[in-house]
């Protein structure tokens, strides 16, 4: 039961992270005019933050898997 739950959570996180990375990729190319005084966010950095978060979440899931297996 716990194993099933774990893999279901992994699947949800994978899909969620893929959607977030896709959103960051889309926004990277967006060139909307921002209100005066609002700095333009650096697209590549934003994407890097998103990917970095996804990787760390993956590491946490791997750690969880090890805890589950122990």
Partner 1 sequence: MPDTLLRRSAVIGSLLTLVAIVSGGLVSATESAAVCTGWPLCAELFTSPATPALWLAFGHRIIVAFAMVVALFIAAMVWRRPDLERWVRLPLLIAPLFGLVEVAAGGIMVALGLYEAINLAHLGLALLMLGAQAVGTAALLQPVPATRAGGRATREARRLSGLAWWTAGATGVLALALSARILGDPAASAASALPINAGGALAMAGMLASGTFWQTWRSRRGDSLLIGVAAAVLLLILIEIPLILLPPAAAGMGVGLAALVWGAALALAVLALRRPLPATMPVVAARPATDEAPPLWKDYLSLTKPKVISLLLVTTAGAMYLTEAGSPSLWLVFWTMIGGYLAAGGAGAINCAFDSDIDINMGRTSRRPVPSGRISRRNAMIFGFVLSALSVVVMLVFTTPLAALVSTLGIFYYAWFYTQWLKRSTWQNIVIGGGAGALPPLVGWTAVTGELSVAALLLFAIVFYWTPPHFWALALVKQKDYARAGVPMLPVVAGEGETRWQILVYSVILVALSLLLTAIGAMGWIYFGGAAVLGVLFLQSAWHVWKRGDQASIWGLYKYSLLYLALLFVVMVIDRVMAW
Residues that bind partner 1 (CB under 8 A): 2-3, 5-6, 8-9, 12-13, 16-17, 19-20, 23, 27, 30, 32, 34-35, 37-42, 45-46, 49-50, 53, 57, 60-61, 63-64, 66-68
Distance between CA atoms of 7 and 19, rounded to whole angstroms? 18
Q: How far is the CB of 29 from partner 1 (least distance, A)?
A: 12
Select 34 or 55, whichever has its Cβ closest to partner 1.
Answer: 34
Residue 42's φ and ψ, nearest 5 degrees, are -80, 110
Whether the Cβ atoms of residue 13 and residue 57 lie closer than 8 Å to each other:
yes
């Amino acid at each position: 039961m716990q194993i099933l739950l774990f893999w279901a959570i992994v699947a949800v996180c994978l899909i969620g992270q893929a959607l977030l990375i896709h959103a960051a990729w889309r926004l990277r190319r967006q060139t909307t005019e921002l209100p005066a005084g609002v700095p333009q966010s650096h697209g590549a950095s934003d994407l890097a933050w998103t990917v970095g978060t996804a990787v760390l979440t993956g590491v946490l899931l791997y750690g969880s898997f090890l805890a589950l297996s122990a």
